[in-house]
Amino acid sequence: MKAVILDGFPANPGDLDWQVVADQVDQLTIYDRTPVDQVVSRIADHDIVIVNKVVISADIIAACPNIKLIVVSATGYNNIDLEAAKCAGIKVANVPAYSTTTVAQHVFAFILALTNQVANFNQSVQRGDWVASPDFCYGHKGAITELAGLTLGLVGYGDIAQAVARIATAFGMRVIYWNHRPKVVAGVPGVQVEWLDLVSQADIVSLHVPLTNQTNQMINQEIFSVMKQTAWLINTARGPLVNQEDLSMALKNKQIAGAGIDVIDQEPMPADHPLLGLDQVLITPHVAWASKQARQRLIQVVADNIASFKLGQDLNRLEP
């Protein structure tokens, strides 16, 4: 059985290895990246295709009749045409829950950096403001906000949101959440509320939903007009959940206090992206998931998915 990895760099930029995956197949071909015009030729006669963000469309599936299994080396799978795969008899599996702890940690990296103005204070010190200051401290008038007593609004209430909720309670925060259907998880803090109640009450809104037709650009000017002017927005989920132009205008017009963004609507980021150059936003390059420990777990589950497929089982199988 032959397998090909089309975009292996995100999971393994060189500090890990793919041996556990190689052990499951007769031949493993690894590409760090695959241009769109080379996807079909690189899949060629492979039985198993492993992708992170490379799009496997209906046309590609039709052009590659030998595919038996597609493994998405990520949790999100909107780059795969599941209907076309099912029609072609191709099984599709993903890697859920591997980065829960890491993403929750990144959410709070943003929250703490924003509420403590870490980047602004550091830039000030680096340009010499502390050297020139007559006082032992400066710039702290209204700059730092305690988390205790603030309301954290979680959009979605899956594993990552629940991990964030647990951390929030350690800081003394009140947790509310919105979910597309009623959901109560024993032992996890939080009160479920209606959508507009969440965005209007929350001091921090953190997004934890998949990208679907219903959630695409769910955060837009209408929502920013409802949010508190002192509120922060955190997005470690999917970029298109947020209308980028509307977020840029909301920040420029001080409709909200700031944002922590790990994902945007176009990745890599274009040079003219509307969020570039804004003081009130912290941006990281889609790395909230990418601790070494999380990536090692991801690679292991890719191997586990292949092992399950070989046994005729359906570990982490996706359906349209």
Catalytic residues: 238, 267, 286
Given the structure tokens 């586990």, which residue do they identify? 304
Adjacent-strand bridge partners of 283:
261
Determine contact, residues 67/42, Cβ cutoff 8 Å.
no
Determine contact, residues 234/257, Cβ cutoff 8 Å.
no
Q: What is d(CA 300, CA 319) in angstroms, rounded to the nearest whole number?
A: 22
Q: What is d(CA 314, CA 129) in angstroms, rounded to the nearest whole number?
A: 59
Q: What is d(CA 8, CA 18) in angstroms, rounded to the nearest whole number?
A: 9
Determine contact, residues 289/105, Cβ cutoff 8 Å.
no
Determine contact, residues 95/301, Cβ cutoff 8 Å.
yes
Please provide residue 215's backbone torsions phi and psi, each rounded to the nearest 5 degrees.
Answer: -95, -10
Helix, strand or coil, per DSSP, at residue 27 = strand
